[in-house]
Structure 1
Amino acid sequence: MESFEDLDVYRLADNLGDQVWDIASSWPHFPQNSLGYQLVKSVDSIAANIAEGFGGFHFAENKQFARISRDSLYEARHWLRRAYRRSLLKEAEIKNLQKLLDELAPRLNAYIRSIGREEIRMTNDQ
């Protein structure tokens, strides 16, 4: 891989961030500046941490940033539930976003595991 942009897990997270932005940016001022801010921040953090970890110099650093991405994914689940309970998301929107999160979570876990395998392979090749 030449770039984090080549990673399927990054592209999926980036797409999720764009979808959440499109929805939250249409909310009224107060929910947008409170819950919307937290939701967008947590969702954008998923892709951002994948990118930041990819640029690191050590496997452990990359893995740590990928774990932070996973933490942000679970934070995003919380904010999505909160937005739905406060009638900011339509049922179709929450189902679509939850589906994307459900698809992203195992891919992110697989990416984290792959970083560990790459570390072992590189160590054995030395």
Structure 2
Amino acid sequence: MKLDNFGALIKANKLFDHVVNDLRPLKTEFACKRLVEQQFASADSIAANIEEGYGRGSRKDYRHFLIISRGSAQETKGRYGRLKHWLKQEDIEARQKLCDEIIAILSKTINTLGQ
């Protein structure tokens, strides 16, 4: 499998772009500072862990990093729910759906890679 064609990575990069666009207007709001920083970090972590795990060159390490990536996707999804005070509901739902798609791909791949 080429990493460039991995659906979870493609979707993770798309999600990160949405995070940047969604949260750009909130970065100056004091009440959102920590939420914004953490959302950037968790969304970045999804793609970064896929890439790092793949780069390790071992099936065991790759699987481990995909598990971490899946956790970051779950974290990003949850935080989008908490951003309901500042973002439009339809945007939140669309981003959470994208997180669910990433989680599903990662879960299937983790299971395929086995123990």
Q: Same fold (TM over 0.5)?
A: yes
The corresponding residue for 1:23 is 22
The percentage of aligned residue pairs carrying the same residue is 32
The corresponding residue for 1:40 is 40
Alignment of 1:56 with 2:92, yes or no, is no
The corresponding residue for 2:104 is 106
Deviations 1:23-75 (A, max 9, x none): 11121512453111111111111111001101012111101100000111111
SS of the aligned residue for 1:55 comes to: helix
Q: In 2, are the aligned partners of 1:25 and 1:32 still within 8 Å (CA)?
A: no
Alignment of 1:6 with 2:11, yes or no, is no
User: What is the alpha-carbon distance in structure 2 between the residues aligned to residue 22 and residue 68 of structure 1?
Assistant: 24
Aligned alpha-carbon RMSD (Å): 1.6
The corresponding residue for 1:75 is 75
User: What is the alpha-carbon distance in structure 2 between the residues aligned to residue 19 and residue 31 of structure 1?
Assistant: 20
Q: TM-score, structure 1 length as denominator?
A: 0.82
Shift of 1:78: 2.2
The corresponding residue for 1:123 is none
Runs of at least 5 residues in structure 2 that lack an aligned partner in the other structure: none
Paired residues in the alignment total: 114
Q: TM-score, structure 2 length as denominator?
A: 0.89
Runs of at least 5 residues in structure 1 that lack an aligned partner in the other structure: 120-126
User: What is the alpha-carbon distance in structure 2 between the residues aligned to residue 27 and residue 47 of structure 1?
Assistant: 23
Runs ≥4 residues deviating over 4 A: none
Pair member with larger Rg: 1
Shift of 1:114: 2.5
The corresponding residue for 1:122 is none
